[in-house]
Amino acid sequence: MKSFLFRLYLSLMKFRAHFTTMENNNIVILNGSGRSGSNGYAFYKWLLLNHPEYNVSLIEPWPSSHLKWEAWQKIGAARYVITTHQPFKVRKHQINVQLWHGVPLKRMGIMANNTRYRDNKRNEKLWHKNADIVASSSDLYETLMSACMAIETEKYHKLGFPRLDLLDKPVISKEQLLKDLFNTTDSEAQIGIYMPTFRYELEDKTIMDKIKEGNFFAFEDFDGEKLNAELAKRHQYLIVKLHPYEMRLFANFKSNYSNIAFLNNDYLFDHNYDLYELLGDTDFLMTDFSSIYFDYLHLNKPIVFVTNFLQQYKKTRGLLLSPYDEITPGICVDSEAELINNLDHLDNQQIVNRRLYWLHLTSEAKGDSYCQNVFEYMTQEYRG
């Protein structure tokens, strides 16, 4: 019922916004990715800096039933509508540029085990009707996305993803990041970041209970003090960036760890940072089924894959590629004990070679700036 009412709301607001006068130099970005690696936000910041001749508006969070009418007027007046999730536009003559939010590893749409036929068919129609330009990174990306969303091949253009422009240009130094999050200085510091996928969809209350108790890995053998001590011995620092829903479970959790810090969206919004503007300062990534690892390949740094819910995730939603240990160029661990045993040797030449192999498969877009690629294509191909 909620989804029906929300679709009805969108239809009504689209109808009203349709009567707003469209201007060719108006760009609106509907950002559904927050600050955790948003192509929309990265593109927005780049446009403000490089193309002041355009009127650029950032609408977030999107989608939302709480937008002011002024926001809908901006959407209706835009020639170009940039989206990070479902394609959207108010009128036929607008140009929708679909930036999506990652190379998919998890099944979604018609490929997922936990979606409904009716919803999938509705999504297919939205992509067919509304998406004009789908930014792509590779043939593999296009194959995976079309398997899930049935996107027509002519919509794809290998322009690259704007957020990747941020990886090699951190907005602050590693020393400043260490001071901000850990309140310390350490010339030998190695900073890691742990970014798991959204585990709530596993529909397992025991996982959420573990997270609520402070067990952010949801390991059976979790011991936060022990892990912190092992990290400290090695001058390693771990940033924990959970899904916003999981972070809310930590409302009353105060970290007293010296080498583990929790990064929430407040820090990013307060400083106008996107997470990808900090990733270049990190030395290794830890994740499970999040597609962030495809992006992190561009930094050519170690990746640790946490697999304690691998079989459960395969059954509940499914993965697009397998076997898992072949598609993940890094060390796999399913317990804290195994993680600690690998902290001294996160990388080797064989793993480096595998990272480069997967980077080659997932990154074919050319150019020095993916933001520039997207801007030039959308404005030159679709002139007013």
SS (H, E, C) the chain: CHHHHHHHHHHHHHHHHCCCCCEEEEEEEECCCCCCCCHHHHHHHHHHHHCCCCEEEEECCCCCCCCCHHHHHHHHHEEEEEECCCCCCCCCCCEEEECCCCCCCECCHHHCCCCCHHHHHHHHHHHHHHCCEEECCCHHHHHHHHHHHCCCHHHEECCCCHHHHHCCCCCCCHHHHHHHHHCCCCCCCEEEEEECCCHHHHCCHHHHHHHHCCCCCCCCCCCHHHHHHHHHHCCEEEEECCCHHHHHCCCCCCCCCCCEEECCHHHHHHHCCCCHHHHCCCCEEEECCCCHHHHHHHHCCCEEEECCCHHHHHHHCCECCCCHHHHCCCEEECCHHHHHHHCCCCCCHHHHHHHHHHHHHHCCCCCCCHHHHHHHHHHHHCCC
* Measured distance CA(198)–CA(8) in Å, rounded: 27
Q: Are residues 92 and 209 in the same domain?
A: no
Q: Residues 6 or more apart from 374 whose CB is under 8 A from it?
A: 43, 97, 99, 135, 159, 160, 162
Using 50, 70 and 90 to split pLDDT, how confident is the model at 202? Answer: low
- For residues 99 and 161, the answer to whether their CB atoms sit within 8 Å is yes
CB 100 within 8 A of CB 134: yes
Return d(Cα 134, Cα 115) in angstroms, integer.
23
Instruction: List pLDDT tens digits, range 321-377.
Output: 999 989 999 999 999 999 999 999 999 999 999 999 999 999 999 999 999 999 999
Question: What mean pLDDT is predicted for residues 284-308?
Answer: 94
In a domain, 217, yes or no: yes
> Same structural domain for residues 147 and 212?
no
On whether both 213 and 148 belong to a single domain, the answer is no
Average pLDDT over residues 112-132: 92
* CATH number of the domain within which 287 lies: 3.40.50.12580
Residues 231 and 314 both lie in one domain: yes
222 and 307 co-located in one domain: yes
pTM of the model: 0.93
The answer to whether residue 324 is domain-embedded is: yes
Q: Look at residue 382 in the predicted model and tell me its pLDDT.
A: 66
**Could you tell me which residue, 197 or 178, shows the higher pLDDT?**
178
Structure confidence at residue 314 (pLDDT): 87
Tell which residue, 72, 102, 73, 97, has the closest CA to residue 83: 97
Examine the domain organization and report whether 41 and 155 are in the same domain: yes
Specify the length of the chain in residues: 384
Closest C-alpha among 39, 32, 82 to residue 57: 82
**287 domain-assigned:** yes
251, 345: one domain? yes
Q: Is residue 155 part of a domain?
A: yes
Asked if residue 263 belongs to a domain, the reply is yes
Contact present, 299 and 164 (Cβ < 8 Å): no
| The pLDDT of residue 204 | 75
Query: At 184, phi and psi to the nearest 5?
Result: -150, 170
**Residue 374, pLDDT score:** 98
Both tokens assigned to 74: 């901006």
Structural domain harbouring 59: 10-161+366-381
Residue 175 lies in a domain: yes
Residue of higher predicted confidence among 238 and 168: 238
For residue 33, the domain's CATH number is 3.40.50.11820
Asked if the structure places residue 1 within a domain, the reply is: no
Do residue 262 and residue 375 come from a single domain? no
User: What is the C-alpha separation between 16 and 19, in angstroms, rounded?
Assistant: 6
In angstroms and rounded to an integer, the radius of gyration of the C-alpha atoms of the chain is 21
Whether 374 and 349 map to the same domain: the answer is no
- Angle 156-158-161 from CA coordinates, rounded to 5°: 105
Are 239 and 286 within one domain?
yes
- pLDDT at position 63 is 86
In a domain, 219, yes or no: yes
Residue 75 shares a structural domain with residue 124: yes
N- to C-terminal Cα separation, the chain: 40
- What's the domain count of the chain? 2
Residues 172 and 100 in one domain: no
141 or 63, which is more confident: 141
